[in-house]
Each structure stands twice: as structure tokens, then as C-alpha cells.
Structure 1
Amino acid sequence: MISCHKGILNRALLLGASAFALTAAPAFAQDAGQSSSTSTAQPDDGAYRPGEIVVTAQFREQKLQDTPIAITAVDSALLEARSQDDIQAVAQQAPSVTLREQGGAYGASMGASIRGIGQFDFNPAYEPGVGMYIDDVYYPTLTGANFDLLDLERVEILRGPQGTLTGRNSIGGAIKLFSKKPDAENSAFAEASYGTRDRLELRAGLNFAITSNLYARISGVHKEQDGYVDQVDYGCANPNNPEGIAPTIGSDGTGSTCVKDKLGGQNYSGLRGAVRWEPTADIDLMVIADYQNSDRTSAGEVQLLGPANFDCGRYCTYASWFLPAGGESGAYYTSNRNKFSGWGVSGHADIRLNDSLQLTSITAYREYNNKWGTDDDFTPDPAIAAGGINDLDFWFFSQELRLNASLTDWADLTVGGFYSDQRSTYFTQQDIRYIIPGVPVQFIGNDPINADSKAAFGTLILRPTDALTLTGGLRYTKEHKDYTFVRRNFAYGKDLGVGATILGLDKLDGLQSVYNGDRVDWRISADYRFSPAVLAYVTVSTGFKGGGVTARPFLPEHATKGDFGPETVTSYEAGLKTNFLDRRFQVNLAGFYNKYKDIQLPLSDCSAYGGNPCAVVANAGDGEIWGFEGELTAEPIDGWMIDGSVSLLGSKYTSISPAVGNSVQFGDPIASPEVQFSAGMQYKIDLGSSGSITPRLDIAHRGREFQGHALDVVSDAYQYIKAYTLANARLTYRNEDEDLSFALEVTNMFDKYYNPSRFDALYGFTSTAYTMVGRPREWRVSIRKDF
């Protein structure tokens, strides 16, 4: 297995080298209102500078090329050029990053991993593996995390553990979104788009001064689009079918009237407002509020495995979201809708106490509700029935304090503290009659989950010489979770019926599972500037993903014994940041090796927890992950910008508990995909007084992704999700003043059919599995006016 991985990496290295011989990444325009800390090693001589974006990854403003961290930074101009308007799209160009909308079983959630470490289960009992931040406010769950990039200044993606550098521990890395701040300049923008399947998008924003030192900014977005997967009524499309399933709509065979709905649609609205007050040059106070609402059909998914009669086609499904009468319930629909609404408010204070001390306070509150139904067997067959109704309520409060101090000309210190408190109530109506054939197992859960985290942290930066910088960081975290299990029948009584009694679900009602833990993380880094064009760094750091409790027990012992500790990583990294040819070419490289321990994995054998069926999560494995990443930026001549990135990952489980079963085995890869690369190019054609035209082309490749051995009984081919490459194109016209633009874009230009993820958790019971389908080729035209 190891030699196989080395062979893959050797071929990928050759591929990556060939790609980089032809590609490099685009220049980033710094916002005119953004202050910049000038590096003493890179004098500001007025020459052309690509990549001058300023980042705050180390709690202070630094140029991207002066920051000794593997970090991808993208500004608003590049996001627009790439036709990217949500956070998922950004990951296509960031090395070693996976961000993807989860399937219908997981509600409105976003799975995330960096360098193979992350989390894809939405349940609030489990911690995200990648920290998500909006304006430095930690977003604590996967649910609702597919943020629209509304009125954004920049995105920072920090790769590797960020245990000492962010508000909350982030084992895989951190993704930070920074919105444009209100300022004294009166300005506005409006944008309208129309495209494939009646795609309609409206965006607008306004910045204005209320007084000489009080400013406001407000922006909004609405987008809607029909889905791309037909949900077809099986009885209508297949009259006289062998299963005897009657139609619920239409009666004319396979006509269009048999299409009940379109899955994978969009219907989203968002609003953001900020007020900023600068009473003196030393005080900057800001309040930010946002609201978002989405009411759309479930994710675009189709049958992967199951009865041949129920294979509807590449963009078609017979899934019905219907559960026939059984047990205590009559027949009912679980709903193919996914509804999310949420809002948040945060207060930000930056106060310069004196020339050496800067105090930062961030106070935030957020709440949301997500309702969705699931058809877990994804067929219309009442004999296989599996599904449920879900309703997740959530609120979160956090407070962070940081003190930045310049101790001397050669020493800087940051110390701080973080506190968060979150509450969830997860209501679910589950029909799992597939577990015991002929016995309808049904229950209602209405589980409160409480979690809080406290941390103290510090980072010391020393510059013993002009070229050498030493950084040390330390963080102590203490965390608590408790999960109370509510198990009732559909009438909300305590008698769960014979099926639940056989499994032991009736004994779960009222039980509480508790986890308490603490952890110390650290970081040591050294960087050396060999010249104004070359910065090298080495880092050793640790991180962890918090422990928790088993959220889906079948037996009381699963709950009382099913708490688990944190998973941890020790990361060794070396990197190089360079600029060449008067800094028109920028090359950033990083190599890393991770010792990954106590990995949180689902078990298939619960003998040690009282018996099966089993959904216990435990610290059940150790592993290693290693890799190489590269990013380039170039503007060989004025107006011609090229971008490229590559990541090559190798990994293996070095130990695995037998209780995990066959889904993951010793030597299996942990991190996927092993090969990932992107490239983009644009050229601004100057038309003089008539304006300019800018064509752009982007490609992004994701190698095959390991999914485990759950479907080996069918074929070894199902161990992996197949690799795919996508191409996008955009043509933009701007007038001479560059305040009016028209754009035509095409995404998935070659209409590639691909499957980004799948759901096969019930295959052992139902012999069915289903998969998400990527969006087919789409076009959009848009007009934007800046005022």
C-alpha cells in the first residue's frame, strides 16, 4: 500500500511540475481603505507588487508574503473574476481543501476538511474539524455554513492546525471571511443576473457617512433557481409496474406531468448591515448584524445502488419522501424541502491604549433553525421504507478578548481569552423499520445538547535579527458537552412499541451523556528572510478536535459509555514564499507531515457497549498524513494574470480498532483526494475610451476520493469517488470609468457528469445507496453598476 501511494505521488509530482511550468496565480488588489504594515525586509519603493493583500492570520496586519503560514488569500476582485459567490466555490482553487454541500440527509450543512482532517456529520454533538469565521467570529457548526460571499473584502484559508492562532481550536485549519467595513466614502453598487433554469440573482449595497466619524454599510442578496434533478412519480411514469405502486400525480405514462419537483434548486435571501464609529484615532467600534433565509428543495441526488426498476437516469430520481402506514403511524410524507433561517449580531472594539498596546474585543450571538425531511432509502418502494423529519434549533454566544503588545522593537506579544456557550435542540421523527424486518421501529427524539468552551492563549514573536523571526504559541482549552436523550412515540408518550423495546430505545428516555476535557496546544515557528524575494519557514504545531458523546445510541450503554476524547495532530511543516522578476512572479510552497492520533471513527461492532446495532463513535485509530502544496501568482505583462495551485497528499491508517469493522482498514488512506490542482488565466484587453474586455478561463481538478469499503460486496470500484475536472469561463466588459460592467459566464463548460459525495449508511439494511450529482453546464449574464 505504501509503495502504491509513493507511485501516485511521484506521478502527481510530475503532473504538478508540468502544470506549474505553465501556470501561476493572479495578483490581489488591496482595498484602498485598508492599512498595511510595511515589511522592513521588503521596502516599499513604489514598484509593481502582486500579492500585496494584507492578512490578519497572526492577529496583526501582515502582508501575505511576510506571514510564515500556509495560507491562501483571495480578494473580492478575484472572487468576482472566478464567478464565485459562495464559500464552497472558493475551495476549488485552494490546495488540500475540501468544502462541499452535504446531501439531503444532513440538512443545510457544509462538510469541510483541510489536509484530510475535518468533519462531515452535522450533528451539534460533534465538533467541526475546520474552523469557520466571519469577521473573526467563530461559526460553530456545519449547518448553515455555505455562506454567500456578500459584500466581501477577502477570504483567508489557513492550512494546518490553528490551535494557538484562532478564537477556537481548529485541528485541520481555518477559513476566515472578512466583510467590507463601513467608511467615510459614500458609495453603492447594484448587480442583477439571469441564467440557466430561470436563475435570478439580485445584489445591492450602500455605504454612507452618518456623521464625520460614524459610518454605515448595508447590503443584500436574493438568488433563486430551479433544480436540475427531476423527482419523478414512479407510479405515474411506470403504469402497471411490478411493485404495484400507484401514481400520485398524472396518468399519462412517462409524460412531463409525472415530474413532481426539481431537486437541487436555490431560493436564498440574505441581508447584512454594519455601523462603525471612530470617535478618535485610537478607538474603532463596530456592530454587525446579518439575516439569512433559505427555502429550497433537497440536494440534487440520484440512486447509486438499488433495484434496477428504480434507476431513473443521470438527472432523475424516483425517491418519494413517502412512508406508508406502519406501527403507530399512518402514511405520511417527510417533505423534500430544506428550510433554514438564522441571524447573528456581533460587536467589535479595537482600542489603542498607547503606542505599544492594542485591545480587541469581539462579542457575538447567533441563532438559527433548520427543518428538513429525509428519504434515507431513496426509492419509492414502501417495503424498504426509511426516513424521517428533522428540526434543529441552535443558538451560540461567544466572547473573545485579545491584547496585542509591542514589547520592544524586536518583540511582539498577543495574549487573550475565549469563551463560548452553545445550546441546541435536535427534534427528529425517525422511521427505521428497516432494522428489524416486519417490525416498525419508530420514535421521536427531542434532544437538548449543551456545550461550552473556555480558552486562554498567547503568541510571542521575536526578531533577534532583521532576517530571523521566532514565534511561539501556547493555548489551554477546557470544554464541556452534555447530551440528554428524549425517546418518545409519535404521540409523545413513553410507550415506544415492541420494535423499540427489542432494541432498547425505550430505556434511553431521560438519559444524559456527559463529556469533560481539557487540552494544551503549542506552536513553534522560525522564519528567515534570505533576501527581499525569499522567505523560508519551519513550524511544529499541535491541534485537536474536541471530544464528545455518541449522538445516535440504540442502547442505554451506547449513551452512557459512548463518550470519546479529542483527536489530536502534531504537524511538522516547512515552507517557502518567494517573489521573482521585480515581484511579478510569486511562488509559495509548503511540505508537511502530520502524526494523527485518536481519530474519531464510527464503530460497526458494539460488543463492548452492550450489543448491536451500532452507531457509537470512539477514538478508534491513528494515522499519518503527508503532502506538498504549491501556489503561484504572476502578471508577466500588465493586464495578463495567471494562477495555479496544486496539492499532493499521501496518508495511511497506522492502527485501527477491530470494532470499526471493514469500512476502514489498516493501511487505508485517510486524506483525499491525493491529487488536486487548479489553473486560471485572464487578460484585460484595453479598448481605450470604449472600456475594456477581459476573458478568463479556470480549470479545477479533484482526484479520486477514498470512501471506505462499505460497498465492497458490490464492487471494489465503489471504494472511491471518481476523479473529475471542471472548466469555467467568463467574459467581462467594463466601461472606461470601470463603474459599469457586463459579464457572461459558463460554469462546468464541458458539461461534466460527476458525483461529489454519496450516502450509503443504510446499505447493509436496505441494499440501497444514493449519490449527489454535480451541477451540469450553466450560463449566466449579469450587469453591475457602481456608484
Structure 2
Amino acid sequence: MKAMKRSTLATLINATLFSAVAGTSFSSIAEEATAEKTNQLEVIQITARKRVENAQEVPVAVSALQGDKLDAYSSAGMDIRFMNAKIPSLSIESSYGRTFPRFYVRGLGNTDFDLNASQPVSLVVDDVVQENAILKGFPVFDVARVEVLRGPQGTLFGRNTPAGLVKFDTVKPSQEFDGFSSVSYGTNNAIDFRGAVGGGLTDNLSARVSVLWQDKDDYIDNRAPGFEQDDILGGYTDRAARIQFLYEKDDFSALLNYHVRNMEGTPIPFRANAIKAGSNDLVDGFQDDVVYHDAAAREFQRVDAEGVSLKLEYDLEAHTITSITGWESAKVNSRGDIDGGYGAAFLGDYQGPGIIPFPSESESGLPKHDQYTQELRISSNFVGDFNYQTGLFYFDESVSIDNFGYNTLAGGALNGYVNQQQDTKAWAVFGTVDYTLTDDLKLTAGLRYSDDDKDFVAVRKIVPADLNECNNDLMQCQTDITRTEDASDDHISWDISASYKFNDDVNLYARVANTFRAPSIQGRITFADEVTKADSETVTSYEMGVKSDVLDGRGRVNATVFYFNMDDQQLTAVGGTANTTRLLNADKTTGYGFELDTEWMLTDELNATFNLSYNNTELKDKNVSIAVPQRPSLTITDPVVDGKAFIDGNSLPHAPEWISNLTLRYSKELAGGEFFTYADVSYRSEINYFLYESVEFEGKSLTEVGLRSGYAWSEGDYEYEAAVFARNLFDEQQAIGAIDFNNNTAMVNEGRFVGVEFKVKFF
């Protein structure tokens, strides 16, 4: 039996710097030896600039979670939203649930719920951009490293990164045999199984297979009169797998990655009039396991996604040539009771909860989606003061979107159908140079030329029945209408940064960067007849920071201050007077704030992390107004003229000013193994759900606490761990999103979740 060395404490701490709620991690023998020798925090290597570098020396505001840390945070049934409020200036939300995450960095994001929506935060997995929001929802498992880059990343990573970038790198095959298996069981019969195994097949070829299976029972009862049914919503089955082959010989390597996902479940439940009029409280007697839907039996969500990538690298000593070819495809259908209640006001007393002006049942589908990407770059490996990277990038995406409307009162009969088609082609040429001016001062400069072109067609085949009541000469009553739009633009992105080594433990940096988000088009014309377009938004960001190791390497303090100015920001008017979206540009948007990211080895048995960020955003356009609902249950605080709210001076939606996270980990050697306990506290301050401001649609601040306790031990070539855990320990529940066009419909965060987990690692 292997004895758990004293250094295991430090290693497990390092491997769980950000984990507390969902799981824990294991250390390798090599990591144990390093920790025993140094008794310091581990050096975090990142690829934020497409080179392997020490995170403390990179002139970019970046937070990195490596290897098992991410597995720990995302285990026990969590989807990618587990990172919400866990990293400075990062928040994630969704009105679909597990399938359509929306990312916000430094307050910049996009609330658009249409499947054609673009986002200003890009997601890159294994060097392949995941453009469509459905691709961004792929489960997180067997990942070696995640990096969150804050601020514009347009030089190396291209368009649609004015806010930042989230970058995942999965565990790659190697000649060393290893693997793991874990299973957890929790509230509402939730089961999470994941595992991986890999090793050498020949002297030059290795492989790794990774799998995930998550399942949760329906647990939400429907109590709408005439539609009563227990356990009808809230569940899902999510399956995913990845297989990789790595060929290595001499100075050449080839990595083939194939991944696939199938998810079946129900969307996040909408809850009619769940927000109390005149406040942002949930109504008295709110129950998270009860809804009142007259379409609950027809609600479903289904996702199928797959992709393949091939990465080729040639090491020519002085240069490395890299080619990355990727194909991604996704299909999704999501149908929900959007009004969140039953009946309608024109039926007399048969409506609820509260007043339901009209029924709304709709479905969004992505029947066809294909994305092709190709990157070719050359990087120098000079020993001297000068190095560079340059390359070419090509992007080709074809999307087909179906939007359906249904007559709930007629048993869900189809009464509206629109198809949208969009083809996007983009290409870019880019380059960066690094120059060591002195032993302590390094400069980096980059340029990227991007060209973007979109062609869009929307065809309405069926008009919703309620629209047929309007005057026949109105265009919105016509069927078989076609709307077309195109958008194109080019842009030169750039950045300049300097890093200065103040001493062996402190690095200072400054960075100025400019980039853009390509033009966007929306044409959800089921309930309207207008296709809208938003021109490119451009941003210039200024930031300065310090990255320091303190207390002889037992502490780490990184801090950043920043300011950005955005021209022609793309805004999405979501909802308002109809179940649709409308694009527009705001003249100016400014933002400023700071970020603090720290790690501490307080004692040999106690480790802590603490991060804090402040973000202030402000829209500056006195002429921009948003159509808003007019009803007694909604208290709008912006100036309203002719049914439109003027939003000049407002903060951006889903942009909390404060985000903070604290983790503590205590461990103690016990009976040849180790007992451990984690605690995690995450906080985000108030948010606005929409561009306009109102009392009811200001989300309250949210604090969630996690706790995990367990025991880890080793036997032979196996490492074991058993643990109990809780998420949202104090069961704090409140609205986290809303739908405004019908009633005060709310979406609510998940309540308390408790469970047990067992994990084994073998090598």
C-alpha cells in the first residue's frame, strides 16, 4: 500500500485551487515530488498566446484552471455554467438551460436567445472556435486546462472576441497508460458518470477515449387545472464521448480528435408572474418543483452535436508550422411553454398564475448546421531577443433555423413557421512579434486583418393565428413572404503590450488592444416582418496589471485595472412587445473596473483562494430607445415616451458590478490516507435582465455556498476518493432571468443539491 506522503497535502491543494463544490482531484507522483521539494504553489503554464508560457509572465489578464481542477469543478452533473461567478469578471447564463450558454466578460455579452445570435465572448476548444451557441454548450469532461482571457483577443483569435475568450484544451493521448472513472449520485436521482483511458498503441501512436453520461429524473409537477401531472419537467439525459489519436515521430505530430454529444431533456421552466409586482421578490409561496403549464406535456429539448479536428505540427528547429482543420455540426430542437402559465385573459377566469394576456408556445430548431475552419501558422523558435508568429485563418458556416409557433388552446396545433438561412464566410491574416528590449522589459505587438461576409434569407410560411386578426393590408399578416439581407465588413485588429520584470517575484504589464465583432443579422419574423442588422462594433481597451508571487511562493496576487470604449455596440432588444429579437447599434459604451485574483497556502493544512472584480458599464446614446410592455405589473424606471424606454446611461444587461469567489480547503493525514473538507462561496451583485430598467426585472444579488468533504487513499497503482457534497447549501433561490413580452415570467436558479461521489484513478 502506498503511503500518502506529507507532500500530498500541497499537491491536492494545488490541484484544487478553484474547486470546492463539485469534486476534487488527484495528484501524480511527479507533482508530489515537486510539491515536496518546493512547498510552493505550482507554476501554471498556459497557451493564451498560442505558445506555452508561464501565466505569471504573460501580459494578458488571464485565469487558468488546469487538469483535474476543472474536472472537479464541473463534475456531479454540472454543465458549463459551473464557471459562473467563479472567475473574475466572468458570468454565464441561459434561457434554454444546458444547451445555450451565454458568456459575459467585463459586462460585455449578448442576451439574444435566437439560434443565430453572435456573442462577443468566443469559446475555443482544442484550437477550434465554437461559434454557434449550441456548440458552446458541449459538456466539459476530461479537460487538461481552461483559460479565461479577459479583454479583446482579436489579434491571435480573431473576430467576435471584443470581450474576451474562454479556451479549453482536453487531455491529450500519451504513451503513458492512465485513466480514471468517477460516479456521483445526488438530488432527484441525478447520476453523473465519467471516465477516460489512454496509452500507447505502438511506439509512435497513442490514443485516449473519454466518456460522459449524466442523467436526472424529472422532478417538477404540473398543477395547471386539467393538466395535472407529477414529475413532468426538469430532467435530462446527456451523453458525450471523445476519441483522440496522436501520432508522433521525429519532428512531426498529428492529432485527430472526434467528439459527439446526444442530450434529451426539458428546457429551463418558465414561471408566469413568479416575480411580485412592485418588487423583484419571488411571489409568496413560490415552489421550485411546481409549474402551472398547459403545454408541459409537449415541452422537450434535444441536442445532437459532433465534430472532428486534425492538428498537424512540424518542428523545423527554428520554426514550427501548425495546421488545424476543424468541422463542427449541431442539431437542436427546444419547445417550451413560453408564457409560463395556463389559459388566457380572454377566456375569463381560466388563466394563471396571475394574468396571462395570451398563450405563447414556441419551438426553435437547428435542423442543419455545418462549420468548417482552417488555420495555418508559422511560429519562430529563435534563441535571441526576437520571435514572431504569423498565419492565415478561414471560417465557413452554414446555418438553417426553424422557428415554430403553436396554438396552445387548440392542443398545440402548428400556427406559425419561419425558416432562416445564413451563410457566413470569413478569412484573416495575422501576425505578432515579441521583442526583448532589455533583460527585464519585453514588448509584444500584433496585427490581424479580417474580412467577414454574411448572406441571410428568412421565409415565413405560416402566420400565427392571432396575427390573422389584424387588417389584411398589413404586411405582418401575409404568408409566404421572403426577406433577405447581407452584411460584410473588414477590420484591422491590433494590440501592443509591455511586460516588465520588477524583480524575481513581481511582473508588471500594460496592454492596449483593439478588435471588432462582425456584423449581425436577425430575422425571427414569426411575429414580425422586419429583418434587422447591426453593424460591426469596435472596442479599444486599456489595462495595466501586476502579477506577483509572495511569501516565498506560498501566495500569489494578480491584479488588473482596465478601461474600454466601444463604438457602435451591437444590442439586442429581446422581447418587449413581442416574442422576437431586434438588433440595433448604440453610439458609445464605456466600461472600467478592476480584477483581483489570489491564491494562498495559509498553513500546511489550509489553502485558500480569493478573487474579486468590479465592472462598471454605461450605455451612451440619447437617441436609442426600446419598445417595452405596458402593464400594471411592470414598473419601468427609465423615461418612457410613446411606449419606448430611453436607455441612455443604463448599465448593460446581465452585467453585475461585483463578482467574488472564496474557497477554503482543509486536509489532514488520517489512517494512511487523507481527510479533506472544502468550502466555496460565490457572489454576484444585482443585474438587469433587459436593456431597459425596471423594478421587477432587476435580479437580486446572488450568493451560493458549496461544501464538500471526503477521504482519499492509495493502494498499489490505484488512487481512490469518496466524498459527500452540497451545492447551494442554504437553498437560496431567486429569479435569474425573465421573459417580459407577456407577463412577469421568471427563470429561477437551481435549489440545494446534495450527493455522494466515488472516484478511482489508475496508472
Q: TM-score, normalised by structure 2?
A: 0.85
Q: Could you tell me which residue of structure 1 aligns to residue 340 of structure 2? A: 378
Match of 1:725 among 684, 688, 703: 703
Q: For 2:680, give the aligned amino acid.
A: D
Does the CA contact (< 8 Å) of 2:699 and 2:735 recur in 1? yes
Q: Could you tell me which residue of structure 2 aligns to residue 225 of structure 1? A: 216
Q: Could you tell me which residue of structure 1 aligns to residue 22 of structure 2? A: none
Match of 1:544 among 516, 519, 538: 516
CA gap of 1:657–1:605, structure 2 versus 1, over 3 A, is farther
Match of 1:67 among 43, 51, 58: 58
Q: For 1:680, give the aligned amino acid.
A: T
Q: Could you tell me which residue of structure 1 aligns to residue 379 of structure 2? A: 404
- How many residue pairs match? The answer is 698
Distance 1:523 1:289 in 2: 34
Deviation readout 1:349-408 (Å, 9 max, x if unpaired): 12112x210111110101111011122211111451222222213111111111111356
Q: Could you tell me which residue of structure 2 aligns to residue 100 of structure 1? A: 93
1:221 Cα offset (Å): 1.0
Q: Could you tell me which residue of structure 1 aligns to residue 497 of structure 2? A: 525
Q: Could you tell me which residue of structure 2 aligns to residue 187 of structure 1? A: 178
> Which aligned pairs between 1:351-430 and structure 2 lie closer than 5 A?
351-353=314-316, 355-382=317-344, 383=346, 384-393=358-367, 394-407=369-382, 409-430=384-405
Give 3-state SS (helix, strand or coil) of 2:533's partner.
Answer: coil
Q: Could you tell me which residue of structure 1 aligns to residue 84 of structure 2? A: 91
Deviation readout 1:132-183 (Å, 9 max, x if unpaired): 0111110001124233221111110001111112254411100011111100
CA gap of 1:168–1:31, structure 2 versus 1, over 3 A, is farther
The answer to whether residue 671 in structure 2 is matched with residue 699 in structure 1 is: no
Q: Could you tell me which residue of structure 2 aligns to residue 683 of structure 1? A: 666
Does the CA contact (< 8 Å) of 1:124 and 1:449 recur in 2? no
| Gap regions ≥5 residues in structure 2 | 1-14, 20-24, 278-282, 347-357, 628-643
Q: For 1:65, give the aligned amino acid.
A: Q
Distance 1:206 1:307 in 2: 51
Distance 1:408 1:316 in 2: 62
Which has the larger displacement, 298-307 or 383-392?
298-307
Q: For 2:312, give the aligned amino acid.
A: A
> Which aligned pairs between 1:768-779 and structure 2 lie closer than 5 A?
768-779=743-754
1:314 Cα offset (Å): 2.7
1:557 Cα offset (Å): 7.7
Q: For 1:148, give the aligned amino acid.
A: P
Q: Could you tell me which residue of structure 2 aligns to residue 6 of structure 1? A: none
Q: For 1:267, give the aligned amino acid.
A: T
Match of 2:562 among 592, 598, 604: 592
Q: For 2:125, give the aligned amino acid.
A: I
CA gap of 1:191–1:503, structure 2 versus 1, over 3 A, is same
Distance 1:218 1:150 in 2: 11
| Gap regions ≥5 residues in structure 1 | 1-23, 36-43, 236-246, 249-257, 323-332, 435-439
Distance 1:683 1:110 in 2: 33
Q: Could you tell me which residue of structure 2 aligns to residue 755 of structure 1? A: 735
Does the CA contact (< 8 Å) of 1:72 and 1:157 recur in 2? yes
Deviation readout 1:446-485 (Å, 9 max, x if unpaired): 2211112111111111111111010101111111111111
The answer to whether residue 590 in structure 2 is matched with residue 624 in structure 1 is: yes
Distance 2:218 2:575 in 1: 39
Does the CA contact (< 8 Å) of 1:110 and 1:120 recur in 2? no
Q: For 1:192, give the aligned amino acid.
A: V
Distance 1:27 1:49 in 2: 16
CA gap of 1:143–1:122, structure 2 versus 1, over 3 A, is farther
Give 3-state SS (helix, strand or coil) of 1:729's partner.
Answer: strand
Distance 1:180 1:267 in 2: 24
Distance 1:93 1:78 in 2: 13
Distance 2:472 2:198 in 1: 58
Give 3-state SS (helix, strand or coil) of 1:504's partner.
Answer: helix
Give the share of equivalent positions with the same residue, in percent.
Answer: 24
Q: Could you tell me which residue of structure 1 aligns to residue 151 of structure 2? A: 160
Q: For 2:703, give the aligned amino acid.
A: T
Distance 2:384 2:545 in 1: 26
Q: Could you tell me which residue of structure 2 aligns to residue 278 of structure 1? A: 248
Deviation readout 1:46-72 (Å, 9 max, x if unpaired): 634414121000110001111111001
Does the CA contact (< 8 Å) of 2:112 and 2:574 recur in 1? no
The answer to whether residue 579 in structure 2 is matched with residue 637 in structure 1 is: no
CA gap of 1:319–1:341, structure 2 versus 1, over 3 A, is farther
Distance 2:275 2:733 in 1: 20
CA gap of 1:155–1:604, structure 2 versus 1, over 3 A, is closer
Q: For 1:406, give the aligned amino acid.
A: N
Does the CA contact (< 8 Å) of 1:103 and 1:772 recur in 2? no
Q: Could you tell me which residue of structure 2 aligns to residue 515 of structure 1? A: 487
Match of 1:502 among 474, 497, 510: 474
Q: For 1:729, give the aligned amino acid.
A: L
CA gap of 1:572–1:201, structure 2 versus 1, over 3 A, is same
Distance 2:559 2:418 in 1: 49
Give 3-state SS (helix, strand or coil) of 2:520's partner.
Answer: coil
1:749 Cα offset (Å): 0.8
Deviation readout 1:7-56 (Å, 9 max, x if unpaired): xxxxxxxxxxxxxxxxx993999997999xxxxxxxx9963441412100
Distance 1:193 1:226 in 2: 14
Distance 1:413 1:591 in 2: 28
The answer to whether residue 756 in structure 2 is matched with residue 781 in structure 1 is: yes
1:297 Cα offset (Å): 1.4
Root-mean-square deviation (CA), in Å?
A: 3.4
Which has the larger displacement, 266-275 or 638-647?
638-647
Distance 2:497 2:101 in 1: 32
Distance 1:366 1:422 in 2: 9
CA gap of 1:554–1:151, structure 2 versus 1, over 3 A, is closer
Give 3-state SS (helix, strand or coil) of 2:38's partner.
Answer: coil
Deviation readout 1:192-218 (Å, 9 max, x if unpaired): 111111111111211021101100000
Match of 2:539 among 555, 569, 584: 569
Distance 2:132 2:93 in 1: 14
Distance 2:676 2:71 in 1: 12
Q: For 1:632, give the aligned amino acid.
A: T
Does the CA contact (< 8 Å) of 1:124 and 1:141 recur in 2? yes
Distance 2:759 2:527 in 1: 58
Distance 2:708 2:275 in 1: 40
Distance 2:29 2:530 in 1: 55
1:443 Cα offset (Å): 2.7
Does the CA contact (< 8 Å) of 2:415 and 2:464 recur in 1? no
Distance 2:245 2:490 in 1: 37
Q: Could you tell me which residue of structure 2 aligns to residue 341 of structure 1? A: 304
